[in-house]
Amino acid sequence: MAFLEARVEDVIFPKIDLYSDEPPLETYLHLQQMMLLIKCLDWLWRDRQDFFAAGNLTIYYSPQQKKSEKFRGPDFFVVLGTERRPRKSWVVWEEEGKYPNVIIEILSPKTAKSDRGLKKKIYQDTFRTADYFWFDPDTLEFQGFQLIQGQYQELQPNQEGWLWSQQLGLCLGIHNSQLRFFTNQGELVLTPEEVATQSQSELEIERERVALLEQRLRDMGVEP
């Protein structure tokens, strides 16, 4: 009866295409951080087709969900065991009931209270998201939680100050004032641009090594 009395404009009815309905990110730092996480994971898992990673995208988890509810999509989330393809939003009832396995919220003065409170409770009790992290790009506050027996337990950092995501099989840690992924071997997960720069640097070093070797041969009277 309560549902029937709800105003039509307040209810999102289940349909094939539901567009994301998210506010813009707070600052340039927030935008850069979200894009960085997506690029790094997409590049690391470029040969995989069994995940979906997105940022600032609405998650619709109930056909009776109201537009007026104070819940917005996570700043970054990953769903495992799903088809890797573009989506306009994440609609749980159209995705075999799957919720994010990992969520990262980027804190701001406007959202920090909700990220630490309301959203954390939703991710724990409704989404049952296994790994939840938050990061403040201004203060560098960084915390993570793992769902154990239905309750979030705070993760303890390793010697480098990184936190382990069991779902991703990766560590998260702060590098140059940004939240980054690290492999379990301690290697920084690079962006495609960083990989290209690194490859170019290695190529230049190799060219310099060859040129030096050729010069030494000439000094010895040997034509390379």
| 46-50, 59-63, 220-224: least confident range | 220-224
Query: What Å distances lie between residue 32 and 27, 122, 154, 220, CA to CA?
Result: 9, 26, 26, 53
Q: What is the pLDDT of residues 162-195, one digit of tens each?
A: 999 999 999 999 999 999 999 999 999 999 999 8
* Domain ranges within the chain, ordered by starting residue: 2-188, 191-224
Cα 209 to Cα 83: distance, rounded to the nearest angstrom: 45
SS3 state at 141? coil
**Identity at 31, one-letter amino acid code:** L
Cα angle 175, 44, 36 (rounded to 5 degrees) comes to 45
Among the listed residues 108, 129, 135, the one whose alpha carbon sits nearest the alpha carbon of residue 24: 108
**CA–CA distance from 143 to each of 71, 85, 164 (Å)?**
21, 30, 11
Would you identify the CATH topology of the domain 2-188?
Answer: tt1808, chain A (3.90.1570)
Distance CA 189, CA 187 (A): 6
pLDDT band with cut points at 50, 70 and 90 for residue 27? confident
Higher pLDDT, 80 or 195: 80
As a whole number of angstroms, the distance between CA 93 and CA 64 comes to: 12
101 in Cβ contact with 133 (< 8 Å):
no
Q: Point out the least confidently predicted range of 2-16, 141-155, 196-210.
A: 2-16
Which residue carries 């390379």 as its tokens?
224
Higher pLDDT, 16 or 25: 25
Residue in this structure with the two tokens 């701001």, named with its chain if needed:
108
List the single range of 3-7, 108-112, 217-221 with lowest mean pLDDT: 3-7
The helix, strand and coil proportions of the chain, stated in percent and rounded to the nearest 5, come to 30, 25, 45
Q: Which residues contact 178 (CB under 8 A, 6 or more apart)?
A: 32, 33, 36, 137
CA atoms of 108 and 219, how far apart (whole Å): 62
pTM here is 0.79
> Between 191 and 3, where is the model more confident?
191
Query: What residues form DSSP beta bridges with 170?
Result: 165
pLDDT band (50, 70, 90) for residue 48: very high
